[in-house]
Amino acid sequence: MEQNFKNIFIEELCKIINLLSPSMDDYLYVYDFQNDFYYISPLAAKRFSIPSHTFHDVVNNHKKFVYPDDFPKLQAELNELITGESCSHNMLYRWLSVDGDPVWINCRGYVVKDKGTALYMAGCINEIGVRQKADNISGLLGDSSLQTYLNQLSPESAKGYFLRLGLDDFKGINARLGKVYGDMVLRKTAECISECLLPGQKLYRLDGDEYLILDFLNGKAEDAKNLYQNICHAVERFIISNNYDVIYTISGGIVESKNMDELSYANIIKLTEFSLDEAKRRGKNQSYIFRKEEYNDFLKKLTLTSQLRVSINHEFRGFEAYFQPLFDTKTHQLYGAEALMRYHSEDFGMVSPAEFIPILEETALIIPAGRWMLHQALRACKDIQQYIPNFKISINVSPVQIMKSRIVQEILSAIDQYDISPNCVMIELTESELLETDSRFTKLWSNLKSQGVSLALDDFGTGYSNFSYLSKLQPDVVKIDRTFTMRALNNSYEYNLLSLLSDMAHALKLKICVEGIETKEELETICQLIPDYIQGYYLGRPHSAKEFMEKYSIYDFCNIR
């Protein structure tokens, strides 16, 4: 190398650079150590805050356009090159743009020497942000740099944790204050994070409004939690110094490297994404520490979700309608049945409705599944009515069906299709604030009532219990949830409360159905309250339509005492 290039005149090199520069995205440069002179593609002067594309006093002048945090590292490296200790240069660091913003660059060069003396260095600079390695909004390295870094990592040296941070509701900031303001918030957040890091911890910007901190200093989850808290405080200080123009919080997902089977880029992204999502799902403005069992539950839920979808698209295979008898306490007769959905998964066997109903609701798959149930329930009701005239069927309807489908029309036309009297059909709705306040609920309620369909207020005594709406909505039946029943059976105060409620309901001409009676003793105690209907394992468990028919159709009278 020395023999070939030592006789090239710097002036000639500068001319070549000048010639090539307009046709390149990258910037070529030459650094003449002997004359302390620097020449770079003229276009660089338009992009970066360099004094000019040619200058002397090279190290000091670099101080003017190198991002201050990166300058000491660069200075040390330049010293080694000038003294001849090192003969090549390859560094990722930041220059300041003409607007003063940090821009990630990769500077590479080769030193030409003459008899051991460094003459000059020639090389190339490229903007790695252009190649998606860095993010010039936050001033941090980006996703592809993270990938490169992790790919060369040895698992033995990577002991510590990952902390993934995300802004809560960043979309709202962009929408309200504009993208430029949003970019400022991202950059300021990156600064808040940076100032809390220990030397050696690494910070990358991920897509959107997320950041990833890598700690390979043997840090534990508790340390990550403390770091997260410190970052939150730094963000709070920024919000105050910014005169509360924008107020936001951040969430954090923490994964200890010891909890990872594999330290690959893909696995790190996957597990930290789950952890950050979990922190947000639990209410935002908090951190969540990765737990394998919870991740496995999450994976199960994903599998179950896709199985439910496939089942629904294949004639509801795996779904079944079960029927649990309801008894009239005065006549001791079978009065009707509640239709309950069942699902058998290929992988997990019978899945509890407590597990799959929320999934159907989250995905809105409850709309087709609920429609299917409606038809199963009405068909079974029609069949049972051959043996037990006036048999009543009770069907659960989810709020999602009310909000997102035309459930009233569906119910009425199905009743018509199966030729059932509307007053043999009862719709069960869980008590909630929506029931009282949302016009869709009140409309559905009054529409069905006016058509003669009965309405039951389900799960009474669990969540939202507002006695005032008992008189407002005037349900036909109030269903006392099993948890309330259990409390009443074990506690005299709750028993008296249930007794008063029962009296009040009767005064309002509403019927009471007590759910979850499991033993003879429970039945006897509850019957002292004179409920109208009773439901529970002691009297009958949920059965398939066929079993239900076999068991109950021959008994038109069932002595329950």
- Tell me which residues touch Ca ion (CB under 5 A): 396, 428, 458-459
Binds 482, which of Ca ion, ligand C2E, none (CB < 5 to 8 A, cut-off by type)?
ligand C2E
| Residue (210 or 459) nearer to Ca ion, CB | 459
| Residue (296 or 519) nearer to ligand C2E, CB | 519
| Residue (209 or 459) nearer to Ca ion, CB | 459
Smallest gap from Cβ 349 to ligand C2E, in A, equals 15
Smallest gap from Cβ 535 to Ca ion, in A, equals 8
Amino acid at 220: K
- Distance between CA atoms of residues 512 and 357, nearest Å: 25
| Residue (107 or 534) nearer to ligand C2E, CB | 534
Pairing of strands 425-430, 319-328: unpaired
Binds 480, which of Ca ion, ligand C2E, none (CB < 5 to 8 A, cut-off by type)?
none
Residue 251: count other Cβ atoms within 10 Å of its Cβ: 26
| Residue (221 or 373) nearer to Ca ion, CB | 373
| Coil, helix or strand at residue 255 | strand
CB 37 within 8 A of CB 51: no
| Residue (180 or 354) nearer to ligand C2E, CB | 354
Binds 478, which of Ca ion, ligand C2E, none (CB < 5 to 8 A, cut-off by type)?
none
Smallest gap from Cβ 202 to ligand C2E, in A, equals 47
Which residues make up the interface to ligand C2E (CB under 6 A)?
A: 324, 340-341, 352-354, 357, 366, 370, 373, 396-398, 428, 458-459, 482, 515-518, 535-537, 542
| Residue (227 or 373) nearer to ligand C2E, CB | 373
| Residue (189 or 396) nearer to Ca ion, CB | 396
- Distant-in-sequence contacts of 543-549, Cβ < 8 A, 24+ apart: 543/322, 543/323, 543/324, 544/320, 544/321, 544/322, 544/323, 545/321, 545/323, 545/376, 545/380, 545/383, 548/323, 548/325, 548/337, 548/380, 548/384, 549/383, 549/384, 549/387
| Residue (357 or 411) nearer to ligand C2E, CB | 357
Smallest gap from Cβ 341 to ligand C2E, in A, equals 4
Smallest gap from Cβ 396 to Ca ion, in A, equals 5
Residues in the chain: 561
Amino acid at 549: M
Smallest gap from Cβ 485 to ligand C2E, in A, equals 9
Q: What is the dihedral of CA 40, 44, 45, 49, to 10 degrees?
A: -110
Distance from chain centroid for Cα 316: 28
Amino acid at 171: K
Smallest gap from Cβ 482 to ligand C2E, in A, equals 5
Binds 535, which of Ca ion, ligand C2E, none (CB < 5 to 8 A, cut-off by type)?
ligand C2E
- Distant-in-sequence contacts of 62-67, Cβ < 8 A, 24+ apart: 65/95, 65/96, 66/93, 66/94, 66/95, 66/96, 67/93, 67/94, 67/95, 67/96, 67/102, 67/139
- Distance between CA atoms of residues 394 and 323, nearest Å: 9
Smallest gap from Cβ 481 to ligand C2E, in A, equals 6
| Residue (17 or 351) nearer to ligand C2E, CB | 351
| Residue (21 or 432) nearer to ligand C2E, CB | 432
Binds 518, which of ligand C2E, Ca ion, none (CB < 5 to 8 A, cut-off by type)?
ligand C2E
Smallest gap from Cβ 163 to ligand C2E, in A, equals 38
- Distance between CA atoms of residues 141 and 475, nearest Å: 61
Smallest gap from Cβ 322 to Ca ion, in A, equals 12
- Distance between CA atoms of residues 75 and 87, nearest Å: 15
Residue 139: count other Cβ atoms within 10 Å of its Cβ: 21
| Residue (129 or 370) nearer to ligand C2E, CB | 370
Smallest gap from Cβ 433 to Ca ion, in A, equals 18
| Coil, helix or strand at residue 466 | coil
Q: Give the 3-state secondary structure percentages of the chain, helix then strand then coil, rounded to 5.
A: 45, 25, 30
Smallest gap from Cβ 484 to ligand C2E, in A, equals 11
| Residue (304 or 514) nearer to Ca ion, CB | 514
Q: Which residues contact 472 (CB under 8 A, 6 or more apart)?
A: 436
Beta bridge partners of 118: 113
Query: What does the DSSP assignment read for 526-558?
Result: HHTT--SEEESTTT---EEHHHHHHHHTT-S--
- Closest of 41, 27, 32, 40 to residue 105, by C-alpha: 27
Residue 344 has which token pair? 């058998």
Smallest gap from Cβ 267 to ligand C2E, in A, equals 36
Give me the phi and psi of 301, to 5 degrees please. Answer: -65, -40
Binds 516, which of ligand C2E, Ca ion, none (CB < 5 to 8 A, cut-off by type)?
ligand C2E
Q: Where are the alpha helices (DSSP H) in 132-177?
A: 143-151, 170-177
